[in-house]
Amino acid sequence: MLLKKDDENRRMEDRAGSEASIIAAGTTFKGTINGQSGARISGSLEGDINSGQLVSVEKKGRVDGNIRSPFVIVEGDLNGNIESAEHVEVRTEGRVNGNIDTVIIAMAEGCVFNGDIHMRGKEAKSVTFVEQRTGSGRKDNKDQSLPS
């Protein structure tokens, strides 16, 4: 699923389907998540995720396993690989210990990454962004991962 020209300025969250498996904060799950819908991990997962939509590891989330999904956002901890992705974002508080295979990658200032990145295809590109914070007249949660 490669991005169309019209999709380039959309936030990754807006490209996701409306249904998602959720592991809530304070919840621990051991096993594999398989499905075409997305996944939001705010708790702890020990196992792999195979998804056809957006997988998001939230700020307090932790995944010890591999993620296979076209769109991945990491704001928490990932100890495993990201495979077959089209677009990966590692945000400011994100920490990845593993390899990433993707077409597009965006890494925020302040994130932690230990591993290798394999970028495939002629569309492959990397993007660096700074997340905007509230206070000092800044807007909150403005996604700047794709150039305008």
The residue among 25, 32, 74, 64 whose CA lies nearest residue 51 is 32
Residue 137 contacts by C-beta under 8 Å, 6 or more apart in sequence? none
pLDDT score for 2: 44
Give tens-digit pLDDT for 1-46: 444 444 555 566 666 566 788 899 999 999 999 999 999 999 999 9
What is the C-alpha separation between 108 and 142, in angstroms, rounded? Answer: 13
Tens digit of each residue's pLDDT (9 = 90 or more) over 132-144: 655 544 444 444 4
Q: What's residue 128's pLDDT?
A: 62
The answer to whether position 138 is within a domain reads no
Each residue of 111-124: pLDDT tens digit? 999 999 999 876 66
pLDDT value for 83: 94
**Total domains in the fold of the chain:** 1
- Identify the domain containing residue 37 by its residue range: 18-129
